[in-house]
Chains A and B, each alone.
Chain A
């Protein structure tokens, strides 16, 4: 008679205990962002082990109209728990308007966070010393895609300096081919590829990282000689006859996601349309199906060449940053998980994944795609050495970074080198 009672008592305490410990069981946390398609699948997969462990149901839904919808939701006070922005500038903006919860209120160990993701990256999501943004994924932009086999067959060697790259380009033109692929059309964001080029050049000229930061913060004017020099170098690529396959028409008209395709297509003589394509790490997601597998082997990258050899190496990149809209317990748990090194494990093992963890302690050997391992290591090393710099156009005020800078780069491509001064002056004038 006594035993069943004892057993049931024990059972009861067990159940109660379990309930007390797992009180977040069944709680739902919603996240929205701009990731759709395979990126969305990957991001959702990242939460599977978390849900299994804690019972918190995390639902992510991306939208190709995210930018607009999140503005409406914030203004109306009807937000999800998290939003994942493709630019830290938007996180800062939302924080300035008072919509976001500081990471400190989410019980995040801030020192650990800075240590894991580098104080530079954390600083991008900080307003007046308060940290609002959670770094998530990163991408690497200081890379040039090329096909080693095509280089070897023609006796070309990988350039390590700008001058070598120009010499190689001249060589290729002399051989009757085109060295570069370059396409910067992008619905509503046309021109960003040229701003990326400018940024990479800026990091390697003037005072390197230092003058880059001054440029981003408008401590030097947009028409400063350093910037003008960068624009001149870029114009050399865009406007030298024969450098870009298809000429300036192609630069302006080619959708950035198609820009690499000439490299993969051989003409009647077996020559590819171009040999070098400077584009970010995520571009593999846009490659034709048959070429994706060869990323890192058949088609791989060399670092963007150095220009001023006295400057230390630097890496340009971009990435996603999240902000939290409340401090529920479930939100806290999810925030903590997203900042852990394990968060990316389930994403990395997907063969179609083109996103990289921004966590410096991430185990890069987990990446299924060979190219991601190379790129992941580069990012982690650059972050640790504080030589990683975020895409400047994402950090500038939107009127410039998503407006005049893009637009004037398009105009520059069309108008030719004589337009450099006008372009830079126009951007300078538009700075709010």
Chain B
């Protein structure tokens, strides 16, 4: 009854509001994308909407901006680097967080509540604060009262340093989200499995993990986007002074900025090239992403 007896004015107004919001959201991207196909001089000579109006736009469209960035030296290497940083940096924190989330959701142990609050609290620590201690840790280890806890590793400049750093920064949110997600699973199922004598390892792998796929995929998307779009952590831990370690975001921003001044043709096409991978991942995993977020955040 509810859906088809709405008052006559409901629907058009609904549509109008939604269409105008959608338009507002897509509009900024429109001019930006258009400009990435225009020559640099044309962008400055004539605004893109005037170019559409006068019809000149269609004659000047070009792929040159894209090829200038896309075929820049070693951009392919930077793409590989980005994947080598991003994929383990997504898998490691998810695995660790999934185990922790299981413990916080279904197991009893001393200090559970305060420890979980600790996880929540750590979500707000700005990562910029951790950079120096972490670089130090990876370089020369940690000593407590003169006792070496972690020896000098000297791993800065290798991929493994970025994995650990990103894992550390991503863990709080991952643990928090996945625990929320697992809490929304039917508790009776897990309890009956325990009564049947299944070990926690078995319950985790055979029961909880398959049920949490959506939550895990949601966080995986989240973490992937964040790691892929980041350049600060990559620059610091891979070492900016090693050109062979550049990641895509950093590389593209240098190509686009390096041309100085008003290089809008490169800034637009560069930004779009660095968006390709995140957008692809996002739209292909969108369904999971949404379901996972909902599982975590929506509780009746």
Contact = CB atoms under 8 A, between A and B. Distances in A.
A287 B41 CA distance: 12
A77 B138 CA distance: 11
Nearest to B136: A76
Contacts of B157: 78
Chain B binding surface SS class: helix
A73 interface: yes
Contacts of A80: 239, 241
Contacts of B136: 75-78
Interface stretch (A57-65, A200-208, A329-337): A57-65
B260 A63 contact: no
B236 interface: yes
Contact of A289 (B40, B239, B246, B257): B40
A183 B139 CA distance: 44
Contact of B135 (A32, A61, A62, A76): A76
Contacts of B246: 61
Contacts of A288: 41, 44, 261-262
Contacts of B119: none
Interface in B139-160: 139-140, 156-157
A72 B131 contact: yes
Nearest to B73: A41
Nearest to B246: A61
Contacts of B81: none
Interface string A35-51: 01111100000000000
B257 A63 contact: no
A40 B258 contact: yes
Nearest to B161: A78
Contacts, number: 94
B20 to A, nearest CB: 30
Interface in B26-53: 40-41, 44
Contacts of B138: 78
B257 A37 contact: yes
A40 B242 CA distance: 13
Contact of B242 (A36, A59, A261): A59
A289 B43 CA distance: 13
A61 B261 contact: no
A37 B68 CA distance: 13
A163 B253 CA distance: 45
B242 A61 contact: yes
B260 A286 contact: yes
Contacts of A419: none
B75 to A, nearest CB: 15
A61 B241 contact: yes
A77 B262 contact: no
Contact of B156 (A62, A65, A78, A290): A78
Nearest to B154: A78
Contact of B254 (A31, A63, A258, A290): A63
Contact of B250 (A38, A63, A255, A287): A63
Given A59-B243, A66-B240, A73-B135, A258 B261 contact: yes
Nearest to A35: B258
Contacts of A40: 254, 258
A32 B235 CA distance: 12
Contact of B259 (A37, A64, A77, A258): A37
Contacts of A60: 241, 243
A417 interface: no
B272 interface: no
9 contacts: A38-B259, A60-B243, A61-B241, A61-B242, A65-B231, A77-B140, A78-B157, A257-B262, A288-B261
Interface of B: 40-41, 44, 131-132, 135-136, 138-140, 156-157, 231-232, 235-236, 239-243, 246, 250, 253-255, 257-262
The 4 A-B pairs with the shortest beta carbon distances in the complex, nearest first, are A37-B258, A76-B135, A80-B241, A32-B241
Given A61-B240, A63-B235, A64-B257, 4 more contacts: A37-B259, A76-B139, A80-B241, A288-B261
